[in-house]
Amino acid sequence: MFNILKEMFSYPFLVRAVVVGLLVSVCASLLGISLVLKRYSMIGDGLSHVGFGALTVATAMNAAPLTVAIPVVVLAAFLLLNISKNSKIKGDAAIALISTSALAIGVITVSVTTGMTTDVCNYMFGSILAMSKSDVKLSIVLSIIVFFLFLIFYNKIFAVTFDETFAKATGIKVHLYNMLIAFLTAITIVLGMRLMGALLISSLIIFPALTSMRVCKKFKTVIISSAIISIICYFCGVVMSYVYATPTGASVVVVNIIMFMIFSIVGLLRKRGNL
């Protein structure tokens, strides 16, 4: 095992993928808890499709992908939040409306300008070769910002997640913190979809939160457990991808599925009093 890890980390692109992936995984797991509890977990899937559209347009324009995708996805996150709160189009319908529109625009753009190339597959399913050195630096800075903003506003996010009415009564600006969650989620989605792909990035948000909730019941323990699970699953997925030559994003999801099943069994046994 040590020899495999030593061989893996001799490749710079794998080092970049592991560093960025672990940071994004932690951020996604933290935000995923709030999104799952607020029943807004599919926002990750919706924003990833918007990100795909933005990345393909950026590629067609020969622009820096992350520079274009980040502001577009952040605006889409704010738009989703405002649509679901202030109009007759609610939650899942708003996500489906925006995500399919962005996906269609992305597909048309890339088919007209460059044709269906390997780059498109990388955006759809992820590629550990997709991260350039500049992308890595930007990803590290933004991931650290997301992590610290979550820690700084932890109490407010906790209140908004569980009871918005009570949070309003205590003077918390609920809309502002919902916008903060949407902003942090958008940044995390864009950073992660280069590695996981537009079709799989939402797994980093949903799986760790749901897995830890099978066993843990307190919010703080769920957060800690979710972060640890996310780190372990991502790292194991990358190792599995390297050893068996499987797609990285899909390998990470498979490891998350296995972890979810293990925690579900442990939670069931504990509930029956066998643990």
Tell me what pLDDT residue 84 has. Answer: 59
- Which helix (H) or strand (E) element contains residue 37? helix 12-37
Residues 211 and 247: their CA atoms lie apart, in Å, by 22
Residues 67 and 8: their CA atoms lie apart, in Å, by 29
What's the angle, vertex CA 93, arms to CA 87 and CA 99, rounded to 5? Answer: 110
Is the predicted pLDDT of residue 274 greater than 80, yes or no? no
User: Could you tell me the residue range of the domain that residue 260 belongs to?
Assistant: 2-271
Tell me what pLDDT residue 272 has. Answer: 79
Is the predicted pLDDT of residue 192 greater than 60, yes or no? yes
Instruction: Give the domain CATH number at 154.
Output: 1.10.3470.10
Residues 41 and 32: their CA atoms lie apart, in Å, by 7
Neighbours of 58 (CB within 10 A): 18
Is the predicted pLDDT of residue 85 greater than 70, yes or no? no
> In this structure, what token pair is assigned to residue 13?
């692109």
Q: How many domains does the chain have?
A: 1
- The pTM assigned to this predicted structure is 0.86
Is the predicted pLDDT of residue 89 greater than 70, yes or no? no
Question: pLDDT by residue (tens digit) across 138-179?
Answer: 778 888 888 888 889 888 888 888 888 888 888 888 888 888
Query: Which candidate, 108, 107, 106, 82, places its Cα nearest to that of 94?
Result: 82
Residues 31 and 199: their CA atoms lie apart, in Å, by 18
Look at residue 49 and give its three-state secondary structure: helix
Is the predicted pLDDT of residue 41 greater than 80, yes or no? no
Ramachandran category for residue 223: left, alpha or beta (phi over 0 → left; psi -120 to 50 → alpha)? alpha
Question: pLDDT by residue (tens digit) across 231-271?
Answer: 999 999 999 988 998 888 889 999 999 999 999 999 888 88
Residue whose tokens read 């916008």: 179
SS (H, E, C) 84-138: HHHCCCCHHHHHHHHHHHHHHHHHHHHHHHCCCCHHHHHHHHCCCCCCCHHHHHH
Could you tell me the pLDDT band of residue 130, with boundaries at 50, 70 and 90?
low
Could you tell me the pLDDT band of residue 201, with boundaries at 50, 70 and 90?
confident
Query: Which candidate, 195, 242, 249, places its Cα nearest to that of 10?
Result: 242
Top-confidence residue, 64 or 30: 30
Rg of the chain (C-alpha set): 19
Q: Mean of the pLDDT values across residues 197-212?
A: 87
